[in-house]
Amino acid sequence: MQIGQIVLDGRLVAAIVEDGLARPIPAHTTLDLIRRAEVEGLPLPELASLLASRQPVPAKLAIPISPTEVYGCGVTYERSASFRDSEQGTTDGMYAAVYRAERPEIFFKGTARVCTGPGEYIGQRADSKFTAPEPELALVLGAKGKILGYTLADDVSAWDIERENALYLPQSKAYNGCCSLGPVIVTVDSIADPYNLVMTCSITRNGVSRFEGSVSTAKLNRKFEQLIEYLYRSNDVPSGAVVLTGTGIIVTEEAALAPGDVVSISIPEIGLLENTVRTV
């Protein structure tokens, strides 16, 4: 099942998305739905089916969830580790060490405040000259870290700020419009193998291509359960949190984002997430 959110009477409302249409779930956001499914002990798709209107409306999709918290996982693909080490002038430095380590890199990305959805803007910090999209598979979590579904994420990051000093990572990662999510959440039962999804990313400026890249989640060096287990250590993450599982697509510096650039990220099983860059 695909669950998204649409704007109805000026408010975000959850909806089942099928055949390009949306069946609204009145008076519930996706977060309300997740919490109610937990209280009533029902699987999310079952509750959504019970509550959804029979009357479909056009599916102009907004952000599929306003997450309680968003976390990012880092250097989960070899390509990401070697790129970041090369940015530090080394081949086997701290990023390679974390890539190989038992404990994964996990950082706090923000809350719903810094998130945007399909068709909205993503942010390029005014003090960054090399901001890049990080296309990632994202996990939508319920209580105790149960994976409820998958969506696409753009962990937009100021790579020049991270390159200057790794201790600047929070500034390179968390700011207005730094995280795009969407277009829908595909519930776990509808993805046969999340470790076998092909993701593509393109950047265009004035309709002209500046970058194309792709990766398969088969190249992911971590299991989701391990990421979640570490995230929940001494940390009572609430239902409705989102975890970004790391990028395996590395954009070149020539394709650094500029205002007006369009970033498109897609996994056929989930859809297309498109955003335009704005300086923030």
The candidate with the shortest Cα–Cα distance to 64, out of 80, 48, 76, is 48
Identify the residue among 38, 87, 155, 160 touching Mg ion (CB under 5 A).
155
- By CB under 6 A, how many residues form the interface with ligand DO4? 12
Verify binding: residue 247, ligand DO4, rule CB under 6 A: yes
Instruction: Decide if 57 contacts 6 (C-beta within 8 A).
Output: yes
DSSP string, 171-219: HHH-STT-EEEEEEEEEGGG-S-TTS-EEEEEEEETTEEEEEEEEEGGG
Contact 256, 129 (CB under 8 A): yes
Per the CB < 8 A criterion, the answer to whether 45 and 37 are in contact is no
Residue nearer to ligand DO4 on the CB measure, 6 or 220:
220
Segment interacting with ligand DO4, rule: CB under 6 A, options 2-10, 28-36, 70-78, 250-258: 70-78
Q: Is 239 in the site for Mg ion (CB under 5 A)?
A: no
Name which position in 45, 123, 246, 271 contacts ligand DO4 (CB under 6 A). 246
Q: Kindly write out the interface string for residues 111-140 of this chain, putting x where it contacts ligand DO4 by CB under 6 A and - elsewhere.
A: -----------------------x------
Least gap, CB of 94 to ligand DO4 (angstroms): 9
Per CB under 6 A, contacts with ligand DO4 among 81-100 are: 84
The strand pair at 115-116 and 121-124 is best described as unpaired
Which one of Mg ion, ligand DO4, none interacts with residue 105, CB within 5 to 8 A by kind?
Answer: ligand DO4
The two three-digit tokens of residue 7, written as one number:
């704007």
